[in-house]
Structures are given as structure tokens and as C-alpha cells.
Amino acid sequence: MIELSLEKKLFGSRGAMTLKMSATLKRGTFVVIMGESGAGKSTLLRTIAGLESAKGSLVVHGEVWQDETTLLPIQQREVGFLFQDYALFENMSVEENLLFVKENRPFAKELLEMMEIEGLATRNVTTLSGGQKQRVALARALMRRPKLLLLDEPFSSLDPRMRKKLTQKIKAIHTHFGTTTLMVSHDVSEAKALADEVWFVQEGEICPSGIEVL
Amino acid sequence: MRRVWIVMMLLGVVGYGAPLRVAVAANVSYAIEPLIEAFHKSYPHTKVEVVLGSSGKLTAQIRHGAPYDLFLSANMRYPEALYKEGLSVTKPVVYAKGSLALLSMKPRDFSQGLALLTQPAIHKIAIANPHTAPYGVAAAEALRHQHLYDRLKPKFVYGESVGQTLTYAMHAADVGLVAKSALFSPKLRHLKEGESWQEVEGRFYHPILQGMVRLRRTKQKRERDAFYHFMLGERAQEVLVSYGYSL
Amino acid sequence: MIDLQPFVVSFKLAGLTTAILFFVALPFAWWLSQTESRSKPLLEALTALPIVLPPSVLGFYLLVTLSPQSAFGGWLSETFGVELVFTFWGVLVASCFYSFPFMVQPLQNGFESLNRHMIEASYLAGKSRLETLWYVALPNITPSLLTALMITFAHTVGEFGVVLMVGGSIPGETKVASVAIYEMVEMMDYTQAHIYAGLMLGMSFMVLFGVYFFNHRQKQKVRKH
């Protein structure tokens, strides 16, 4: 169970705005977060990860990540995060990127196979294509078997064919590991394929709804 | 009316011309202001600009065309070299005899003279670099005369000029061998002889004959010669003596 | 006869200064690049001060502060029996002050130009700030790191005013090549001065070229992979 109630003053692309979001989420749900640009979707994700601060509370699987007295540091939150620009460790190879997160060679191998990139294991990540990079990032995000998987518009830099392929991969991962996932996306077909629940963010507030609305 | 203006401007250029530039060795820096004041009593309209430096550096600059009118060195060797190279109008002339003094910011017992430097409490001795500064040459000579040079060498700290040596003596070293003239500057005048400083016996080293030359490359011949003769005259001698020089 | 001692002192001084400053400046530069603290501009200005101060002025202040006659220098002398003026160690301390911004600034600039998300990815992987610095940030700013090391080294080799003031030009101990050359010019021994200057340039060039060449080779290796 994930319970969040967060508040933050933002000065974004639309001027000053207050983010006020509360929601509950059952373990294992796949949520797609949609809404206009600048409405606060990325900020929500980043706050859950601990990359940004906000007022309020956040409880994940019974563990308090944030309330009036505590603030769990980023490092201790078991979160997998996918950035739009991949954010791979450029001084390392593909497998080094994964092993840096956790020294678990068999699991790393398994993940690379799932992503169909096991042949790239020793390549330096800067030599890969966008689609390959994002698959490495996805594998890396799963190395610690995180409680939450957060995906911040992970496919917007990729071409449609690659987007479709990776959507399938995400679906497979979700089915296999059952990780609670929150994904920010603009793409309706992606949402239809992946979401159990859709949150619409408008002017800093969430309006949860099912996928029927799409 | 216009003619009056032109004449006045010409007079201004001639009479109130560019300042006289005098290159002055470090040890004279303490006495130069009072000397210029005395000079102004007879020549109130001649501005004098002072360029300070170590004699070696000033000589090198003059050799390479520095726009100085006169050079007051700390020795005879550098001005003699300039004369030989045709850069000076006349042979060097002694304008003062410099002396060495021991200086310590902490009161010490100076009764033993240079032997004081061998005490274990003295860690560092500031001395002007004998390779480049005439006062350093004299200091080395005096120490060798007393058979102390080699023994004290590990304690030496070398000032690039006698001016820097004084800085060391005042701020960081235990004792320094400095120009006696420094002790008469306003900052150090209050220090007591025998307690904070002591002149080094003259017979330990060759007298520091300080030479002066008029430089050929000048735009103010008259003013240059005026200052030159002033330096050799009675008023200047009085000032120099009050700063510890002998003649 | 060429006395190589001044060169030994110069390179020893530059090498040690660079090594010490690397370990001192690295965490500081990292902190500066990551912090949003209000004191950041103040600290940056203080760090840059040695660049603006004339070397002889800096040398003079260091001389007075470290002197056994001063409060600090006297304390050092009484408590540890250490005198920093007119010794190699004193000149080393002075060089570290003088060259500090040359190590900090390229490192800081390098860190600030890193992809923020990559750093965040490291934290998200459970790595502490220091682990992130050492394993992720530093390996990705190799050009800036090289610049920092080389400029600090070169700057220290060329140092004159500060070393002259604090060092007292003691042969074998504080008489660095730049001071030795200056002395030869003062003595009007221009031939010696030319030889020494040439040697110094040659040696320094070899060191710098060696490092840039090595760096270039490393880059080629990565590309071929």
C-alpha cells in the first residue's frame, strides 16, 4: 500500500502554482500519470523518489518515507527511476552500470537477457543507441528489486517502433516482477496498454480515474 | 593675447617639465625623501620621481634603455660598468659611504658583536644576497673576516636586495645584517642602539663606497646636473650623515 | 657546470603542492558544485582571492603570519618546534594557498557541467555523496581533472613572488628555478639565465605534453571499444 499526501509551492512554466496531491495506491498497481506540461507530474515523481522536497507525508509498504518528523534520504528509498535522458554512468560499461547498483552478476545477466541486450554487456554506454540506452537504464533500475518503479516520460526521445518495443518490455517486467509502477506519459496508446489506473494532473492536483476515460 | 598664451605654455613645458627620474638603490630609500625636500629648498619647481630597486636590477634596466636621469648605486662597480659602456656622462663619484648594522626586533646583548650570531637562540640570519647586493657582499666579507661565514651559512636567509633583507629582519628572521641607514628611518628610529641594533665594525669589511652617475639619456640636462651637484654639496651631506652614512 | 638543484626544488614543490591540493580541493569543489547554500558566492570569492592578490603581497602576509614572531607562528614553534618561514615546508604551505583556486575552479566547473540526472541516478542506486564523487562524478570529468592538475602544477613551477618572500632563497631548500633564474639576470649572467630558462621550459613542456598525450591515447581506446 502506498499513501501519499504532498504539498509544494512551485514556480514552473505556468507561473506560481501550488501542488496538492493525495492518493492511495495498492501494491503492484501500474499507474500512468497524464496531464498538461508543467502541471507538476515530474515533480510528483521526483518528490516520491526524494530528489525534491515537499511538505506532507509519504508511506510506502508501511515504511514512512516522509512525515512531520522524518525524511528518509534518497539512498535508503528502494526506488527504481527512469529518466528521459537515460542518465547512465558514462564512464562504465553496460554491465558495470548494473553491477554498480548491486553486485549480483546472475541477476544482471537475467535482466540483460530480458531486455535482449546481453550481447552489449561489455560495451561502453556512450556507444549505444537511444533505445539500447533506455533498456540498460530499465535493467539498472530493477537491480535492487525496488519497491517502486518510477518512469519519467522514458520514451519521449525514442522513435515509434522503439517506443512500442519498450512498452512491451515494460509490460513484461511488470507482469514478471509485480512492482508498483508510476509512469508519466503523454501517449494515450501507451497508457491503454500499460495502465491499471490513470491519474490526471491538472494545476497541481490529481484526479484519479480508471482507464475507461481514455 | 594669444601670444601671451603661447609663451606661457612654452614656459610651462620648459620650466615645469617632466619630472626628474632618479634611480635609487634600496639602502638610500630611507634618506631619499629628506634629500628631495632639501633639494626643493633651492629648486622648488623641479619635480623628482624616485625609482627604487636593487643596484643590479636598476643597472640592467639602464642598460636596456630605462628612462632614468641619474643613478645612485650602492657600490662603484655597477656605475663603473655603465661608464665604460658609454651610458653615463662622467665617471662615477662617491656620494656616500654606507655601513652595515646588525638588527634584531627582540632586544639582545650586542656586546659580542658578530659572535652573537653563533648563539643557538639565533635560528635564522637575514643577509642580502652576496651575488646581487653590495651590502650582501660587505656582510659576507665581514663574517669571513671574523671566521664566522662558513659556520653560520646554514642559518642564512637571503634577501634579494638589502630592502628585502630588512623586511626579513623585521618580520621573520631572528637577526639581520642590514644597511645602517635603515635604522634612521621613521619606523625604526625609536630602536635603541646596543639593545636592538649595533653597527658592524668598519674594519671587518671594505668600505661600501656608493657611486653616483649622470646618465647620458636625459631630457632634463639642467635639472639633472642641478640634482647631481646638490648631492655632492653640503646640505645633502648633512642629511646623509643624519642617516648614518659617512663621507 | 649546471647546478640542477633549483629544478629539483621546483619540481618537488610543484608535485607535492599538486598532490596535496588534489585531496584538499576535490571534496570542496564537489560540495561547491552540488550545494544550494547561500554562502556559496562568498566562498567562491574567497577561493578566488589568491588569483587577484599580487604574489608579493600574498607572500608578505604569509611571511608575517607564519613568522615565529607572530601569534600563530610562535604557537607552531613552541608547540611543535616547527618553523615554517624560510623552510621548504613553509614554501609548500604558501604554494598551496597560492595555487588553491587553480585546482578548485576547473574541478568545480567540470562537476557543474555534469548531467544532474546521472548524479541523481547514483544516489538512487544507494550511493553516498562521497561514493558518487569518487565513482561517478570524478571519472566523468577527466578533461577538467587534467586541466586542474596541469594548471596547478604549471602555476606552481612558475611561482616567484610568494616563494621568494616566504622562502629566503636558500639553495637546495627554497631556491626554486624561477628565483635562481631571476638571480642570474640580476647578476647579469645572461648566458646562465638563458640555459636555465631553456631547461625549465623544456622539462615543464615534457611533463605537460606527456599527460595530454596519455589522455589522448585513453580517449582513443574508449572510442574503439
Sorted by where each begins, the domain ranges of chain B are 7-97+209-242, 99-204
Whether C contacts A, i.e. 3 or more CB pairs less than 8 A apart, is: yes
pLDDT at B228: 94
Asked if pLDDT for residue C155 goes beyond 70, the answer is: yes
Q: Report the pLDDT value the prediction gives residue B72, as an integer from 0 to 100.
A: 95
Q: pLDDT tens, B130-189?
A: 988 899 999 999 999 999 999 999 999 999 888 899 999 999 899 999 999 999 988 898
- Mean pLDDT of all residues in A8-20: 76
Residue A84 to residue A88: CA distance in whole angstroms? 11
Q: Could you tell me if C188 lies within 8 Å of chain A, comparing CB atoms?
A: no
Using CA atoms, how far apart are residues B241 and B220, in angstroms rounded to an integer? 28
- pTM for this entry: 0.82
Question: For the residues of A104-119, what is the DSSP string, one character each?
Answer: -HHHHHHHHHHTT-GG
Q: Strand, coil or helix: what is C80?
A: helix
Band (pLDDT 50/70/90 cuts) for residue A128 is very high
C-alpha to C-alpha distances, C115 to A89, A131, C5, C33, C37, nearest whole angstrom: 10, 19, 46, 12, 20
Q: How confident is the model at residue A212 (pLDDT cuts 50, 70, 90)?
A: low
Separation between Cα atoms, residue A122 and residue A93, nearest integer Å: 5
Contact between C182 and B160 using a beta-carbon 8 Å cutoff: yes
Q: Provide, as residue numbers in chain C, all residues whose Cβ is less than 8 Å from the Cβ of A80.
A: 124
Question: pLDDT class for A213, splitting at 50, 70, 90?
Answer: low
Q: Which of A10-24, A99-113, B208-222, C22-36 has the lowest mean pLDDT?
A: A10-24
C-alpha cell at B78: 655597477
Cell of B53: 630597486
Q: What pLDDT was estimated at residue C1?
A: 65
**DSSP letter string, B48-108:** EEEEEE-HHHHHHHHHTT---SEEE-SSSHHHHHHHHTT-BSS--EEEEEE-EEEE-SS--
Comparison of pLDDT for C104 and A20, the residue scoring more? C104
> What gap in Å lies between CA C170 and CA C145, rounded to an integer?
33
How much is the pLDDT for C190? 84
Q: How confident is the model over A151-159, as a mean pLDDT?
A: 90
Return d(Cα C138, Cα B60) in angstroms, integer.
49
Task: Tell me the average pLDDT of chain B.
Answer: 89
d(CA C112, CA C32): 9
Match 509490460 to its residue by C-alpha cell: A171
Query: Comparing A173-187, C39-53, C187-201, which segment has the lowest mean pLDDT?
Result: C187-201
The predicted-structure confidence for B218-246, as pLDDT tens digits, reads as follows 888 889 999 999 999 999 999 999 999 98
Q: Where residue A179 falls among pLDDT bands split at 50, 70, 90?
A: very high
The confidence band for A32, taking pLDDT boundaries of 50, 70 and 90, is very high
Q: Does residue C67 surpass a pLDDT of 80?
A: yes
End-to-end CA distance of chain A: 25
Across chain C, what does the average pLDDT equal? 90
Which pLDDT value is given to residue C15?
95
Look over chain A and give the mean of its residue pLDDT values, rounded to a whole number.
Answer: 88
Query: Are domains B7-97+209-242 and B99-204 of this chain identical in fold?
Result: yes
For the beta sheet containing B100-103, the strands, ordered from the edge strand earlier in sequence to the opposite edge, are B156-159, B125-128, B175-179, B100-103, B197-199
Average pLDDT rounded to a whole number, residues B119-128: 92
Q: Is the dihedral of CA B123, B128, B132, B137 positive or negative?
A: negative
* Distant-in-sequence, close-in-space partners of C204: CB < 8 Å, separation ≥ 6: C154, C157
Tell me the one-letter amino acid at C121: A
Q: Judge whether residue A37 has pLDDT over 80.
A: no
**Whole-number pLDDT of residue C81:** 80
A-contacting residues of C 115-144, CB under 8 Å? Answer: 115, 117-118, 120-128, 135-136, 139-140
A208: pLDDT strictly greater than 80: no
| The pLDDT of residue B74 is above 90 | yes
* CATH architecture entry for B99-204: 3-Layer(aba) Sandwich (3.40)
ipTM above 0.85, yes or no: yes
How high is the pLDDT of residue A87? 94
Q: Which amino acid is at C47?
A: T
Residues 6+ apart with CB under 8 A from C209: none
Distance from CA of C114 to the nearest CA of B (A): 46
Of B58, B50, B41, nearest to B20 (Cα)? B50
Q: Which residue has the cell 649622470?
A: B214
Contact indicator for A150, A182 with CB cutoff of 8 Å: yes
Q: Distance (Å) from the C-alpha of residue C129 to the closest C-alpha of chain A?
A: 10
DSSP string, B205-234: S--EEEEEEEBSS-S-HHHHHHHHHHHHSH
The predicted-structure confidence for B37-49, as pLDDT tens digits, reads as follows: 999 999 998 899 9
The H or E element that residue C207 is part of is: helix C190-224
| CATH of segment(s) B7-97+209-242 | 3.40.190.10
Q: Which pLDDT does position C222 carry in this prediction?
A: 61
- DSSP one-letter string for A150-195: EEESTTTTS-HHHHHHHHHHHHHHHHHH--EEEEE---HHHHHHH-
Q: Read off the pLDDT band of A210 (50, 70, 90).
A: low
List CB contacts (< 8 A) between A122 and chain C. Answer: 225
**Residue C168 sits at the chain B interface (C-beta within 8 Å):** yes
Residue C40 pLDDT grade (very low, low, confident, very high; cuts 50, 70, 90): very high
Which whole number is the average pLDDT over C74-94?
A: 88
Tell me the three-class secondary structure of C108-165, residue by residue: HHHHHCCCHHHHHHHHHCCCCHHHHHHHHHHHHHHHHHHHHHHHHHHHHHCCCHHHHH
Is the pLDDT at A214 greater than 60, yes or no?
no
By DSSP bridging, strand B208-214 and strand B93-98 are: antiparallel
C-alpha–C-alpha distance, residues B55 and B135, integer Å: 10
